[in-house]
Structures are given as C-alpha cells and as structure tokens.
Amino acid sequence: MTSALDRPILSNAAPVGVVVRPVTRRPSAAKPAAKPAAAHVTTAKLQLSTKAAALVLRTARVSGPVFRDDAAALTGLSISTVNRQVSALLKAGLIRERADLTPPGAVGRPRVPFEVNTDGFLAVGIHIGYKVTSITTHDLEHRVAGAIAIPTPQADDPEEVVAQIGASARRFADRWVGKRLLWAGVAIGGRVADGGYVDHPRLGWEGVPVGRLVAEALGLPVSVASHVEAMAAAEQVVNPADQSQNFLYFYAREMVGIAFSVDGTVHTPAAGPPTIGHFPTGATKLLDPDRTGRLEQTVSDSGVVYAAQTAGLEVDSVDELRTLARTGDTVANEILIERGEVLGRTVALISDIFNPDHVILGGQAFTDYPEALPAVSKALRATTVITKRDVRVARSAITVQQKAAGAVALDAIYADPLDALSYTA
C-alpha cells in the first residue's frame, strides 16, 4: 500500500445568505460596544467556485504574479472575460498590478502581471473548540497574519459563551489599524444550519445563533461551517489543482470526525456532518479503561489523559503525556502508540467504505506525536483491503484549526469576490 505515514509527506492539499437583525439580549460583561444595523450571515459553501471573478482571483492567488493571457489559459476563460474581471478586481482593490515586472523591450501595449493584494484586506477566523478557541486574521492568500488562543468560555447560556468569544474577537480585530476587515468565519463542531445556527451535542448547544452573535460583535458579515468540513476546505484552498480528485479528511484531537470532498466541493449531508465518535474500536490494552468501546472516548485527548491517569501516570494534559513519553516513560509511549493503532484501524475501515483517491489525516492526534505514525501506518495496512492507498498527513499540522477558520472566513470572498464586497462596509 502507498502510505505517507512511514515517512510523513505533507500535502498541500455565493454563499446562501440570510439577513438577520439584532435582537435585544440581557446585558453582560462581554457585550460588544456597538452593533451593525443588520448582519449578513451565511453557511459556507466550501467549494472551488467556477464564477469568472473567482477563477481569476484564484489564479492570482495560486499563480501570481500572472499575465492576463496566461490567466486565460489557466482558467479556460476568454481573454476578453479575463480583462473584464481583472479590471473589476483592480477597481475593488482585491488584486494589484506589478508594473515592475513588465517585460522590458516589449512592442505595443505592455504586458503587466497582476497578483492578489495582500496588504489592504483581512478576514477574521474563529475556531470554537471544546476547550480552546482560536482567533485569527488572514490575508487574501489565506495566510495567518495574527493569532491568539483563549479558553473556550464556560457559561450556562450558550449565547453568553458566543458573545464572550465575539467580544474577544472584536478586541483582537481592533489591533489591525489601517486594514479593511472584509468578512468573518466561524468553524465549530456539530451541525450548522442555514443562517449560522448551531447544534453542538458535545457542548449541549441546540439552535444557537452563532452567526448572528458573532456578526453583532464584529460588525462584519459572517460565514459559519462545521469544523472538520472547514479543515477539508482548507486543504482545497492550498491544493486547488486536486479539485478533479476526491479525498477523505479524517480529523482527531478532542473530537473525531470526517469530511468528504468530490470535484472541489466538500460534501455536506442534509442531515449534518457524519458522526463517528461512537465508532467501535475493538479491544484495547491501556486505552478506554471503562471499556466503552467507543472511538471518541478512546482516542480523544481527554480520553487518552484519563487512560494515563488510570494507569498511574501523574498527568493533566496530553502535552504532559507526550513529554513523559519522550523522556523515556514506557507506559506513556505505549498509550500514545495504542492511540495510533486504534486510529489506523479506524481510518482503514472508513476509507474502504468511501474508497477515496486520497486520505488526509489532520489534527494533533496525528501531528503532535509523529513517533506514533508508524503504528498508524502499520494498523492501517493490516486492516484495509485496498493494497494501494495514498495517505497523507495534513500540511497545516498544529495550525489546522486556524486554517479551517480562515477557509470559512474567506469562503464568500473566494466564491464570488465582487458580490461579497457588497456586504462589507
């Protein structure tokens, strides 16, 4: 079987909007100082757009600086269409010309290449995790301009939690003086319904208006998406050339989930993202001491720490467990190796069902202890019925949550850039 796990290979792998109006909420310490008159909230589409302006912007992002005739060849658009889109994108400020790269000695009208304008605009990304929330800013090339991490607030009222996160994001966004903030994106576990409403069983949330609350706090249009699907979309942003192929994205950290991408579109079932936390794990030695037999209780960060504590190790976090393993503690190492074995078997079984062209492994369960990757690979090969399978470790590694939030924040801009600008101040 072809697997990148023995020698990890890092892979580069117009939203439907609703307008909602702010409602009065009870006062809180985290209440933002100002609210927009109306908030534009969307569920992210997470696909490589075929709109002309989007194709030209993507070409500038991936291949820029690029000449107009080369952009026409790369996109399949006519040169007249490319000229119109370039003119519109230049006027909007999303791209810029590079006169300094004009070929010398040219006869006739000079050929001036263009590229994405990475100086004037930013998008705000928020990844709401079970324990940690990351807040980031991203330029138009999806690069992280700045990032902070905060503990996910604890409150009985889910709206209060989101309001506090929104207030933190507002304070962070205010640091970027001189930049135009275009859009915000929220990646979160659970199911995301139209209008940015979230059901998150692990957090006990049902119908929480995440999109509206973040829009109120930031004064920006907001896109919301399930976080594993957003991670798969981030792989597409990095690897748009792979859009003709399909891949399975498998994520593991505190939560475990999968997403499937076909022809440049991350598939979102009508019933919500696939749930695999209850997937049976088979027999374990050190993990899952309560013998639940369930995947998430077995391989999640908290589950692994619980197994370590049950085995007599004095650790309070998976980071401490990794440190013990790397300093010679055999039990700590065995727990993390067993985690890799369980994940490898699970990846193999799910991959055999979907039979994708590629499998991409993301999340700190894979990337933060690479010493266990050979165990993942061995278990995967021993379980799968497919002899040749391209399995890769996600390039984003420790920044996977940040890149996911950025993919959601830039989704509307990448899908229909000129239309998206009409919703921004």
In 57-158, beta strands by DSSP E: 95-97, 114-116, 121-128, 132-138, 144-151
The torsion of the CA quartet 329, 332, 335, 341, rounded to 10 degrees, works out to: -60
Q: Nearest 5 degrees, angle CA 16-CA 18-CA 19? A: 145
Contacts of 211 (CB under 8 A, 6+ apart): 20, 39, 41, 42, 186, 195, 196, 197, 222, 223, 224
Residue type, 198: V
Q: Which helix (DSSP H) or strand (DSSP E) does residue 62 occupy?
A: helix 52-63
Assess contact for 216 and 32: CB atoms under 8 A.
yes
Which helix (H) or strand (E) covers residue 188, if one does?
A: strand 180-188
Specify whether domain 240-398 bears CATH 3.30.420.40. yes
- Domain 14-45+119-234+402-421 carries which CATH code? 3.30.420.40
- Asked if the domains at 14-45+119-234+402-421 and 240-398 fall in one CATH topology, the answer is yes
Q: Residue type at 351?
A: S
- Please return the burial class of 204, using the count of CB atoms within 10 Å of its CB with bins 0-12, 13-18 and 19+: exposed
pLDDT in tens, the chain (425 residues): 444 443 333 333 333 333 333 333 333 333 344 444 457 999 999 999 999 999 999 999 999 899 999 999 999 999 999 999 999 999 999 999 999 888 875 554 668 999 999 998 999 999 999 889 999 999 999 999 999 999 999 999 999 999 999 999 999 999 999 999 999 999 999 899 999 999 998 889 999 999 999 999 999 999 999 999 999 999 888 776 666 679 999 999 999 999 999 988 998 777 777 889 999 999 999 999 999 999 999 999 999 999 999 999 999 999 999 999 999 999 999 999 999 999 999 999 999 999 999 999 999 999 999 999 999 999 999 999 998 889 999 877 668 999 999 999 999 999 999 999 999 86
Locate tokens 């921004």: which residue?
424
Domain boundaries, the chain: 14-45+119-234+402-421, 52-104+112-116, 240-398
Q: What CATH number does the domain located at 52-104+112-116 have?
A: 1.10.10.10
Closest CA to 226 of 200, 254, 195: 200
